[in-house]
């Protein structure tokens, strides 16, 4: 049995502001040797793309769960997710609470 692909990704800005362009990078690996042939990114804000290394703008403050699903040439799939915390400058999140304005 051929193992599923190992999806992985990173992004260029660790704390983006609303409207800031964020570059995403696919680092997925296929141990079965077929290679990744299709990508599906869900940005957690109602938008998706099939690009391998997309760029995206989040329009509002929030914690967005970005999910990458990859598919190999022979149809095996794998998914992974990370949270992108989008914040307006000057806002910090208090643990367990709403954003607080920093001075």
Note every long-range contact of 37-46, with CB atoms under 8 Å and residues 24 or more positions apart, other chains counting. 37/71, 37/72, 37/73, 38/70, 38/71, 39/68, 39/69, 39/70, 39/71, 40/68, 40/69, 40/70, 40/71, 41/66, 41/67, 41/68, 42/66, 42/67, 42/69, 44/84
- The architecture in CATH of the region 9-101 reads Sandwich (2.60)
The domains of the chain are located at 9-101
Single pTM value for the model:
0.84
pLDDT of 14: 84
Q: Reply yes or no on whether the pLDDT at 99 is more than 80.
A: no
Per-residue pLDDT tens over the stretch 39-89:
999 999 999 999 999 999 999 999 999 999 999 999 999 999 999 999 997
């Amino acid at each position: 049995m051929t193992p599923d692909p190992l999806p992985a990704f990173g992004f260029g800005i660790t704390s983006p502001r609303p409207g800031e362009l964020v570059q995403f990078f696919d680092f997925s690996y296929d141990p079965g040797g077929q290679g990744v042939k299709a990508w599906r990114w869900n940005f957690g804000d109602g938008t998706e793309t099939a690009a391998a290394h997309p760029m995206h703008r989040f329009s509002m403050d929030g914690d967005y769960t970005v999910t990458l699903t990859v598919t190999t040439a022979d149809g095996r799939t794998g998914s992974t997710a990370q949270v992108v915390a989008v914040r307006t400058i000057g806002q910090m999140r208090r643990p367990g609470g709403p954003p607080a304005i920093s001075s």
